[in-house]
Amino acid sequence: MHTTSFYHTAPDGVLQCDLCRHYCRIRPGRSGLCRVRKNIDGRLIALTYGRALSQSVDPVEKKPLYHFMPGTATWSFGTAGCNFTCANCQNWQISQALPDEEATPFIPPEKIVQNAIRAGCPSISCTYTEPTIFAEYALDVMKLAKESGLKTIWVSNGYLSPLCLDTIHPWLDAINVDLKSMDDAFYRRLCGARLAPVLDSLRQIRKSGIHLEITTLVIPGHSDDPAMLERLAGFIADELASDVPWHLIPFYPEISWKMHETPATEPSALETAWQIGRDAGLQHVYSASHNDTLCAHCGATLVKRERQFIGAQVKRFDAGGRCPSCNQPSPVKN
């Protein structure tokens, strides 16, 4: 059993988890909202430490990260559980799974790093489910990864606490955060969370210097309203930076957890959202039909991507970190 260090005992004796913005108060024998942190005999236990449910090699573009080591593979892993309950979740089989220590073999952090090195991956991604809820495991993997010269990535819903962010900061190179909507009602209704903490996290991440990209799932009738998308793009441009990449991805009802009756995203809705991002001044907006990275100064192609994003399907033209046409610095990090 792995005792977490991210908690304190409240004056009334209840354990309070300090890892994410839910700040659950957890009584003896009970678990937090994520169901993977449990008060056992007065200690807060991380039930999924070492219990990776899913491991595989993905293109880094699939995270999605387009301005960080493009064309490379990343060793990806995650554990059961999540601090959100998104009805649209496409990984719900593991995000909504209960921790099962007996059915899930223990995989030590060293093994995750060995797997990445054996597979030839220059980075490790904490992904598939929310890394915040397995932060101790992620941290131990990240520390070993750095010792081995690997980069580290999180794919997050942005609900991590300032304490969590400060703790992972020295070990984290890049993060993609879902900004699902600018409506608090959306977060309450579909995710069991709130909007404001996500915006706070995004501001802090941007200030921290960790490489940041943002993703929005465009769900018909829920997160495709042009006025909302204008506010969202405006937030990125005005409060973060106009060079933060914004990824627009389509919703697929058949693989969602609970939204089978909602239609799939039409290509025209993605195109509308893409134009909203560009009109807001965002320099790099990506969607199914906008996959290439273009120079923000002259429009020359810096990275060309075909659909599967691997090997020769990602071609770079920004040798030396500069645009081949106007010689301005490329926004893409190696």
Which residue ranges are tagged as binding site for [4Fe-4S] cluster? 82, 86, 89
- From residue 303 to residue 322, the character string flagging contacts with ligand SF4 as x (rule: CB under 6 A) and all else as - is --------------------
Shortest CB 41 distance to ligand SF4, Å: 17
DSSP state of 110: H
Our finding on whether 22 is near ligand SF4 (CB under 6 A) is yes
Our finding on whether 244 is near ligand SF4 (CB under 6 A) is no
**Closer to ligand SF4 at the Cβ: 47 or 270?**
47
Where would I find the beta strands (DSSP E) of the chain? 2-3, 7-9, 15-17, 25-26, 37-40, 43-46, 52-59, 73-79, 123-126, 151-156, 174-178, 211-218, 246-250, 285-286, 293-294, 301-305, 314-316
**Segment interacting with ligand SF4, rule: CB under 6 A, options 27-35, 102-110, 261-269, 310-318:** 27-35
- From residue 41 to residue 80, the character string flagging contacts with ligand SF4 as x (rule: CB under 6 A) and all else as - is ----------------------------------------
Kindly determine how many residues on this chain lie close enough to bind ligand SF4 according to the rule CB under 6 A: 13
Annotated binding site: which residue ranges?
A: 82, 86, 89
First to last CA, the chain: 38
Kindly give, in sequence order, each residue whose CB lies less than 8 Å from that of residue 147, ignoring residues fewer than 6 positions away: none
Nearest in space to 75 (alpha carbons), one of 52, 106, 97: 52
Pairing verdict, β 151-156 and 174-178: parallel
**Residue 176 CA: distances (Å) to CA of 4, 155, 312:** 25, 5, 24
Our finding on whether 34 is near ligand SF4 (CB under 6 A) is yes
- Dihedral sign, Cα of residue 259, residue 264, residue 270, residue 272: negative
Our finding on whether 15 is near ligand SF4 (CB under 6 A) is no
**Closer to ligand SF4 at the Cβ: 7 or 186?**
7
**Closer to ligand SF4 at the Cβ: 26 or 65?**
26
Residue from 39, 74, 83, 125 binding ligand SF4 (CB under 6 A): 83
Tokens of 293: 């990275």
**Closer to ligand SF4 at the Cβ: 99 or 331?**
99
**Segment interacting with ligand SF4, rule: CB under 6 A, options 22-30, 65-73, 278-286, 313-321:** 22-30
Give me the helix-helix angle, 226-235 and 267-279, nearest 10°. 40
Our finding on whether 37 is near ligand SF4 (CB under 6 A) is yes
Our finding on whether 211 is near ligand SF4 (CB under 6 A) is no
Our finding on whether 85 is near ligand SF4 (CB under 6 A) is no
Shortest CB 113 distance to ligand SF4, Å: 24
Shortest CB 80 distance to ligand SF4, Å: 12
Our finding on whether 139 is near ligand SF4 (CB under 6 A) is no
CA distance 97 to 100: 9
Q: Specify which residues 65 forms β-bridges with.
A: none
CA distance 261 to 26: 36
CA distance 171 to 148: 12
> Contact 80/104 with Cβ under 8 angstroms?
yes
Our finding on whether 107 is near ligand SF4 (CB under 6 A) is no
- From residue 150 to residue 189, the character string flagging contacts with ligand SF4 as x (rule: CB under 6 A) and all else as - is ----------------------------------------
Shortest CB 43 distance to ligand SF4, Å: 13
- The full DSSP string for 251-290 is --GGGSSS-TTSPPPPHHHHHHHHHHHHHTT-S-EEBTTB
Q: Which residues bind ligand SF4 (CB under 6 A)?
A: 17, 19-20, 22-24, 32-34, 37, 83, 132-133
